[in-house]
Amino acid sequence: MKFGVVVFPGSNCDHDTEHVLRDVCGQDVRLVWHKDSDLSDVDAVVLPGGFAYGDYLRTGAIARFSPVMKAVGEFARKGGPVIGICNGFQILQEAGLLPGAMLRNQSVQFLSQPVHVRVERTDTPATMGLRVGEVLTMPIAHGEGNFYAEPEEIARLEGEGQVVFRYTTEDGRLDPAANVNGSAAAIAGICNAERNVVGLMPHPERASEPELGSADGKRLFEALVRAGARVLA
């Protein structure tokens, strides 16, 4: 299976993501420059973390106009799996491929720390084969991860089962202290209505080898491989 990892000016998790997909998961990977508009050779697309365009204007606001984003939109409309990690998630929101927007963290501090997230849905390409209710440990590193949508929109997302990950305690309980950035409904990850586009704030690529303290993130990439195999079959 071949992954496309999109590289924007200011992406800084592109090579970590490439490393995990290639060296840890044994998949083919192509780094896709943001001016490239051809994704016909890849089976799944990852928008990695970083600070695309320096987060100027708003996180993801300029990156969404990169030529590659038109191709990402078409890839997603055809049902191709797309996952956005941290800044990649913010770019997908700005592009309208995922709902909501990110506010500055409630503490107004940049947060770089491990968090626990509970898996809420397993019918997405990033969580296929995981168990609902299990808790994963992965790091976050962001200043704007405070998920916001109007209350009616949150209710709609809950009703449609689009909340994929929630910040919880280590044993999977909702707790304001565990919702470190103040996200609405403790949302750490969501998917689109069609369920093939997923965004999450934690960094699975930084938690994919035991030497890094957690290999939980690897399971998301393995899920993507499973999802890709199903699409290809």
Partner 1 sequence: MPRARVYVTLKKSVFDPQGHTIHDALRSMGYDGVTDVRQGKFFEVDLSGVAPEQARDTAEEIARKVLANPVIESYRVEVEP
Answer yes or no whether residue 55 interacts with partner 1 by CB under 8 A.
no
Q: Are 105 and 147 in contact (CB under 8 A)?
A: no
DSSP per residue over 60-119, as a string?
A: TTTGGGSHHHHHHHHHHHTT--EEEETHHHHHHHHTTSS--EEEPPTTSS-EEEEEEEEE
Find how far residue 73's CA is from the centre of its chain.
15
Based on the shown chain and the rule CB under 8 A, indicate whether residue 61 belongs to the binding site for partner 1: yes
CA atoms of 115 and 178, how far apart (whole Å): 8
Spatial separation of the C-alpha atoms in residues 95 and 168, rounded to whole Å:
28
Contact between 134 and 117 under an 8 Å Cβ cutoff? The reply is no
215 binds partner 1 (CB under 8 A): no
Least gap, CB of 64 to partner 1 (angstroms): 9
Minimum CB separation of residue 74 from partner 1 in Å reads: 20
Active site includes 116? no
Select the residue interacting with partner 1 from 9, 114, 172, 182 (CB under 8 A). Answer: 182
User: Given the rule CB under 8 A, which of 30-38, 47-55, 96-104, 196-204 is the region that contacts partner 1?
Assistant: 96-104
Is 94 a residue that touches partner 1 (CB under 8 A)?
Answer: yes
**Among positions 38, 74, 150, 160, the unique one binding partner 1 when judged by CB under 8 A:** 150
> Distance from CA of residue 32 to its chain's centroid?
17
25 is catalytic: no
Query: Of the listed pieces 26-34, 37-45, 142-150, 220-228, which binds partner 1 according to CB under 8 A?
Result: 142-150
CA 115/CA 200 separation, integer angstroms: 12
Nearer to partner 1, 150 or 170 (CB): 150
The first and second tokens of residue 80, run together, are 């191709």
- Judge whether 111 and 225 are in contact, CB under 8 Å: no
Site residue total, partner 1 (CB under 8 A): 20
Asked if 18 is an active-site residue, the reply is no
From the list 67, 107, 173, 174, which residue makes contact with partner 1 (rule: CB under 8 A)?
A: 107
Q: Which amino acids are annotated catalytic? A: 86, 203, 205
Binding site for partner 1 (CB under 8 A): 57-58, 61, 65, 93-94, 99-101, 103-108, 146, 148-150, 182
